[in-house]
Amino acid sequence: MAIINVTPLIDITALIVSDDVSEGDVLLLEEGIYFQTVNITKNYIRIVAKGPQVIFDGKSILLTAFTLSNVTGTAIEGINIKQYRANGILIQSGSGNRIVNNKISNTIGNAIDVFGSSGNLIWKNEICSCSDGVRLIQGSTSNRVIENVVKECFDDGFESFLAPDSNNAFISNTAMRSRFNGLDIYGSNNLLLDNLLIDNGLGIIINEGSGSVAIGNIVKGTKLGTHFVFNEYTNYFAGENNILCNRSIGTENNSQFGIFMNNEIAYNGDNGIILGESFMANLVMDNELVCNIPENIVDGGTNNNFINNIDKPCEPCESPSDICGNCSYREDNSNEELKEGDN
Amino acid sequence: MDIKRKIEKEIERKRKLIEDSEIIMEEVPKHLRPNQEFVLEIYKSQLEALEQELMKLEGEDKLESEGKLKGANKSKKEDILVNKNKLKDEYMDLENIRF
């Protein structure tokens, strides 16, 4: 196994295909501007930036910066990717690839697109002005999407596209000011843990499947909708989520056999939690609902069990507009501000 | 059906990407074309997979329309996704923008 130094003048795809590169080799990229698409068709190739100025610029002509096709164990680390016409990084039928610490901006398609692929790690990437930040599609399963920051995307922050996109984990990610959903999650047994969703069009969408779990997420400042669980979804679990200062309903739920516990749903500009007509046989327990206007809880469902929920009306001078009126978050310290606000 | 619409939108988007890419290919320097063509073939295979998925769903829809619609709030669910898709339609113009 070797470390091979690479400059912007080298055709990296051709290099990988050649006998000069073997599985396990590291391609160490010198700083500079690379105008190329790298197609990786060999397993266990590690592509690592030597410094922060390794820039892949597609100049709005090239399709992708990196395409991982049917490969395992590729690493893409520390690359600055911009202005590609399709995706920044495309994983097609791959598994166990590691996409770490990259910056991706201004792609017309999704920044990172995972198509029919499993067990990939997408960690600590910074994404801005793309379609989706990270999308899992066409039976992408068991992927780990962790500590990524997605800003100002013109579709969703993070998306698992349909029911076959299951068993994925979205942990400690941030989605800010996406035009549509912060987390658009279809499929079963997906984990949504400690994500921060601020000022997106919608917050969390859960649809098509069963068994997904959402814990410790913060949803704030959404405009079109906050936390939807659609009908026919079963066994959804939502615990310790903070759903605050959103323009519309805090949680709208039409699923069955779910559990909602220890959530804080407060100061939303519509009802706190609505249990729709097809919402049945759920347990709603130990939630704190404060000053959602007009109602904290609206139960239109059947056979639901309510235990120990705190239902507080607005105190004088504590309407959503009083509390949330100054909820503009600076990018650098939104977490800290929220934590302070919780105390 | 919302899932169907979602796939249709994705197919539409992918078709446009492929069409545009075939046109733009002429602007791509010759030595870079093989890699672009490789990626383009992948997108074509993705499009094919999505089209097959759609056909499968249309078959299911046909069967379902013979029965009755499931779910009391299906129309609400459709409304939300239709609105979202409507907004997306307006936004598709972005695809013509070059950075």
Distance to chain A for B32, nearest Cα, Å: 7
pLDDT of residue A329: 44
Domain assignments of chain A as residue spans, ordered by start? 1-200, 231-343
| Residues A218/A199, Cβ–Cβ less than 8 Å | no
Those of residues 31-90 in B touching chain A at CB distance below 8 A are 31-32, 35-36, 38-40, 42-43, 46, 49-50, 53, 70-74, 76-77, 80, 83-84, 87-88
Confidence of residue B84 (pLDDT cuts 50, 70, 90): low
B27 contact A CB<8A: yes
b/e code B82-97 from CB counts within 10 Å (16+ = b):
eebeeebeeeeeeeee
Q: Is the ipTM of this complex over 0.90?
A: no
Smallest CA–CA distance from A59 into chain B, residue: B99
- Report pLDDT digits (tens) over A84-138: 999 999 999 999 999 999 999 999 999 999 999 999 999 999 999 999 999 999 9
A312 CA to centre of own chain: 32
Q: What is the pLDDT of residues A154-200, one digit of tens each?
A: 999 999 999 999 999 999 999 999 999 999 999 999 999 999 999 99
Q: Residue B86's closest chain A neighbor by CA?
A: A180
Residue A318 pLDDT? 80
Higher-scoring residue by pLDDT: A129, A332: A129
- By residue range, what is the domain housing residue B67? 2-96
Q: Is pLDDT of B76 > 80?
A: no
Residue B90 has pLDDT above 50, yes or no: no
For residue B71, give how far its alpha carbon lies from the nearest alpha carbon of chain A (Å): 7
Instruction: List pLDDT tens digits, range A270-279.
Output: 999 998 887 7
| Token pair belonging to B16 | 């446009």
pLDDT-derived band of residue A324, with 50, 70 and 90 as boundaries? Answer: confident
Question: End-to-end CA distance of chain B, in Å?
Answer: 35
Structure confidence at residue A330 as a pLDDT band (50, 70, 90): very low
Q: pLDDT band for position A326 (50/70/90)?
A: low
> Number of folded domains in chain B?
1
Cβ neighbours, 10 Å, residue A19: 5
Q: Tell me which chain A residues have a C-beta less than 8 angstroms from the C-beta of B74.
A: 231
Cα(B12)–Cα(B5) distance, integer angstroms: 10
The CATH number corresponding to A1-200 among 2.40.390.10, 2.160.20.10, 3.40.50.920, 3.90.1150.10 equals 2.160.20.10
Chain A residues close to B83, C-beta within 8 Å: 224
Q: Which pLDDT belongs to residue A343?
A: 39
A35, pLDDT greater than 90: yes
Is the CB of A278 less than 8 angstroms away from the CB of B46?
no
Inter-CA distances, B50 with A268, A291, B46, Å: 38, 45, 6
